[in-house]
């Protein structure tokens, strides 16, 4: 028979073994938790790095778009009616007339002349890019859908029309920053009956308006050749017959 001392020794040994097992289990659990924590930290750091990379990439794209040293119109984009960017590289090799338009302006009837020019010349490689803008006299207050409906119903327009956007100021399209840098303002046409009206209005509101290359009013037009170079700027007072003549020279 085992003595009480032997029983006590065996009990103590078993208790020690159980404690060792528990300690070992706790250590393994702790190691697993630490590994999980390390894995989570690695994942979060990689996720943050990817987001940072995306952020940097987006910034680089924005900076690229805003770089006025760019040489070709095809390096830029416009915003489609669905809010997505449309690369102007889609129009590579085309002669372009880029116009900021309005639906309630004294020059709005130019839509009819623009559409007639488009129908006549589009099969020769000509495109009109219509950018509605509400910065001049609040003359384009409608939604994009309303603007499109107005132009199609009243003037039968079929040329590409983009999202209503700013062409001057802090939120101006990068494309327009570049266009204005390529061809500055050289004055309104003296023989147009609306020129004195516009000049009087601008003189009263901003005496230094002639010194800026900003877009002055609705239906300012930039003519771009097949190689993506801006070759002319036409103010809204410019003869549409001459605009068409200069377009035809490039086709």
Q: Where are the beta strands (DSSP E) in 76-215?
A: 77-79, 85-87, 95-101, 126-132
- Annotated catalytic residue, options 70, 96, 105, 215: 105
Model pLDDT, residue 82 = 87
Residue 105 bears catalytic tag: yes
Strand order in the sheet with 126-132: 126-132, 95-101, 221-224, 230-234
Model pLDDT, residue 201 = 92
Measured in degrees and rounded to the nearest 5, phi and psi for residue 126 equal -115, 140
pTM: 0.73
CATH architecture of 73-250: 3-Layer(aba) Sandwich (3.40)
Convert the pLDDT of each residue in 92-128 to its tens digit: 999 999 999 999 999 999 999 999 999 999 999 999 9
**If you average pLDDT over every residue of the chain, what do you get?**
83
Convert the pLDDT of each residue in 182-239 to its tens digit: 999 999 999 999 999 999 999 998 889 999 999 999 999 999 999 999 999 999 999 9
Model pLDDT, residue 71 = 74
């Amino acid at each position: 028979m085992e003595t009480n001392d032997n029983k006590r020794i065996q009990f103590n040994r078993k208790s020690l073994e159980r404690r060792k097992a528990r300690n070992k289990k706790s250590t393994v659990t702790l190691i697993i938790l630490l590994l999980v924590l390390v894995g989570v930290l690695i994942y979060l750091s990689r996720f943050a790095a990817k987001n940072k990379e995306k952020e940097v990439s987006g910034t680089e794209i924005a900076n690229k778009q805003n770089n006025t040293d760019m040489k070709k119109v095809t390096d830029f984009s416009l915003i489609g009616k669905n809010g997505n960017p449309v690369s102007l590289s889609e129009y590579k090799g085309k002669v372009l007339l880029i116009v900021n338009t309005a639906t309630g302006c004294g020059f709005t009837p130019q839509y009819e002349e623009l559409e007639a020019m488009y129908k006549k010349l589009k099969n020769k490689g000509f495109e009109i890019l219509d950018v509605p803008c509400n910065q001049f006299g609040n003359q384009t207050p409608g939604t994009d859908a309303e603007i499109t409906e107005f132009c199609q119903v009243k003037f039968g327009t079929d040329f590409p029309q983009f999202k209503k956007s700013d062409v001057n100021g802090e939120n101006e399209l990068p494309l327009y920053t570049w266009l204005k840098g390529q061809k500055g303002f050289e004055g309104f046409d003296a023989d147009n009956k609306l020129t004195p009206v516009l000049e009087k209005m601008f003189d009263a509101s901003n005496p230094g308006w002639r010194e800026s290359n900003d877009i002055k009013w609705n239906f300012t037009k930039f003519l771009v050749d097949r190689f993506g170079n801006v070759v002319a700027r036409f103010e809204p007072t410019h003869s549409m017959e001459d605009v068409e003549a200069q377009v035809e020279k490039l086709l």
